[in-house]
Structure 1
């Protein structure tokens, strides 16, 4: 029997901070760091993972799904993933992880998976293990590390926040359906090729009768219309001004926008695997 310790990275803030935390507080553990690559990640994600490898002093294993997004889209009759049907998380994130640990568990290894759920996230739950040989630990919750503690960890390590936090919330996947409308506008501006790809997927889905569009209540074609973009910007600015009137300025965001856009729009039950 072998003891294995694994920690999944999303390319986001919390999981990176947990990796740094475990390296500093539990250097005796030989932790295997992994990233499940959907093939639809922002380029900023890969840049951040590269810098994180430098801080950790060891490589991050890339787990690639055995079937890509296009394959699974066909299996689901061209229906887009959505909050109601999160097949992208199941097939492109959880399935590769389960396939990776399966041989370890079959050999009788004891595998401990460390997940970056913070102490201030009572509404979140970790991955539910289906094997008695696989246990899940939540070090941040156990040790009382909250969002402020996570940011402090990243700043102290010299790693800082992922650069995409300047314009969107936690997911590094280009066309996550949990994005706010202002984030779709920013994706269109910063990564127009990714936005066009998302539009093409959406058009195919609609032709096949998909009940979902990427953004609730409208297609990306409609969202991208200049008048609609202006309205989205105006609505976002108004929401931001209302928040500024209620809270103290955040020194980490001189323009007053919160670290998580979710703070501005309210928490949602996002995919834990992607948004960490």
Structure 2
């Protein structure tokens, strides 16, 4: 870290552009808001650099969406990778699967590669938090990096984000049919209905998550008397065994939500329903 003072004070787009020589970067999470912001700023911020922190365990739909977005932007989205993959860091952390209480995956697979790529250059990072949201997203602790919130500045809401994506011909990522955020295929923030969605659409990735869970759980139970699971209080095999129950509950909740709020996109209804199943926490690097 350079200097001794944390600088998280946001600036406007105009103020950022007035800083000659600084870098301007925008993180693409694979979700709708960061994609819309990239399109929104395409002709407004010259020399804007796009990046994606790639853990190597992203959904196929995410990689496909990035390719389509690059075609619209006419510029490459830089892929940032940890020097070592998930398996290495899993060993470093003693076989403890990442969890809401210990988010080591975010730290070593996303934040560290990002801050290494940025170095000590004065940098403005453009963040896709909308005007109708009350959250800040990930803000670096490096004093050389300052956040910019163009959507908040210009009053851009979710409906306008949908329009930006539709007008550009990009649309929404396909995973929004069953999942409300980007992130690793085995992300521990997934709700139960999302895990079942993964098992149906990408059974090989679900099986991979089971393999991690069972291997580390066996070793940890033998050595520490502790069982590790991706989802709190239930193994993935147990979850899959009651898939029909989870799906029925989810579909009933979707019907109730749709009847309460008409004329909403599927992703909005899905977000409301899934928020009832395990809260709305998320990795802020992934969620925008």
Give the TM-score taking structure 1 as reference length.
0.90
Deviation at 1:131, TM superposition (A): 3.1
Change (3 A) 1:142 1:212: farther
State yes or no: 1:162 paired with 2:206: no
State yes or no: 1:263 paired with 2:275: no
Matched residues, number:
261
CA contact (8 A) 1:12 1:275 kept: yes
State yes or no: 1:77 paired with 2:86: no
CA contact (8 A) 2:37 2:151 kept: yes
Q: Which residue of 1 aligns with 2:22?
A: 3
CA contact (8 A) 1:168 1:260 kept: no
After TM superposition, the structure 1 = structure 2 runs for residues 64-213 of structure 1, keeping only pairs within 5 Å, are 64-102=81-119, 105=120, 109-122=121-134, 124-207=135-218, 208-209=220-221, 210-213=226-229
- SS of the equivalent of 1:224 reads helix
CA contact (8 A) 1:116 1:138 kept: yes
- SS of the equivalent of 2:42 reads helix
State yes or no: 1:240 paired with 2:254: yes
Take 1:260 and 1:50, find their aligned partners in 2: how far apart are those partners? 27
Q: Which residue of 2 aligns with 1:219?
A: 235
Q: Which residue of 1 aligns with 2:12?
A: none
Q: Which residue of 2 aligns with 1:50?
A: 67
Take 1:17 and 1:119, find their aligned partners in 2: how far apart are those partners? 13
CA contact (8 A) 1:82 1:212 kept: no
Change (3 A) 1:56 1:260: farther
Deviation at 1:245, TM superposition (A): 2.5
Moved more, 132-141 or 60-69: 132-141
Deviation at 1:46, TM superposition (A): 0.9
State yes or no: 1:37 paired with 2:37: no
Deviation at 1:260, TM superposition (A): 6.2
String of CA shifts for 1:70-100, please: whole Å, max 9, x gaps: 0111111111111111111111111100111
For structure 1, the 5+ residue unaligned runs are: none
For structure 2, the 5+ residue unaligned runs are: 1-19
CA contact (8 A) 1:165 1:259 kept: no
Change (3 A) 1:76 1:3: same
- SS of the equivalent of 2:254 reads helix
State yes or no: 1:275 paired with 2:287: yes
Change (3 A) 1:275 1:126: closer
- SS of the equivalent of 2:234 reads coil
Moved over 6 A (4+): none
Take 1:99 and 1:191, find their aligned partners in 2: how far apart are those partners? 32
Take 2:137 and 2:199, find their aligned partners in 1: how far apart are those partners? 32
